[in-house]
Chains A and B, each alone.
Chain A
Amino acid sequence: MNSNKISCKEVMYHICDNLGEDLESPRCIEIKTHLENCENCQHFFQNIELTIQFYKKYNVDLPKDAHNRLIDFLGLNDCIDKK
Chain B
Amino acid sequence: MNEQQLIEAAQNGDRKALAELVKMYEQTVYNFSFKLCRNRERAEHTMQETFLSMVKNLHQFSGQSKLSTWLYRVVANHCLMLARSENRYGFSSFDDDETYIDEKEIAEWKVTPDKITENNELKLILDESIQKLAPEYRVIFMLRDVEGLSTEETARLLDLTVPAVKSRLHRARAFLRNELSERFAHELK
* Residue with the highest number of chain B CB atoms closer than 10 Å, among A16, A41, A56: A16
A15 and B112 CA atoms in complex are apart in Å by 21
The A interface is mostly helix, strand or loop, or mixed, namely helix
How many residues in B have their beta carbons less than 8 Å from beta carbons of A? 53
The B interface is mostly helix, strand or loop, or mixed, namely helix
A1 contacts partner chain B, Cβ-Cβ < 8 Å: no
Name the segment of B66-74, B80-88, B139-147 touching the other chain: B139-147
- Would you list which residues of chain A between 34 and 66 have a CB under 8 Å from chain B? 40-44, 46-48, 50-62, 66
Contact A73 B151 (CB under 8 A): no
Known contacts being A21-B151, A56-B146, A80-B19, is A43 close to B48, with CB within 8 Å? no
B164 contacts partner chain A, Cβ-Cβ < 8 Å: no
A50 and B180 CA atoms in complex are apart in Å by 10
Partner of A71, one of B19, B145, B151, B169: B19
* A59 CB contacts on chain B under 8 angstroms: 31
Give chain B's interface residues, CB within 8 Å of chain A: 15-16, 18-19, 22-23, 26-27, 30-31, 34-35, 40, 43-44, 47-48, 51-52, 55, 97, 101, 103, 105-109, 111-114, 116-117, 122-123, 126, 130, 141-142, 144-146, 151, 166, 169-170, 173-174, 176-177, 180-181
Give chain A's interface residues, CB within 8 Å of chain B: 8-9, 12-13, 15-17, 19-21, 40-44, 46-48, 50-62, 66-67, 69-71, 73-74, 76, 78-80
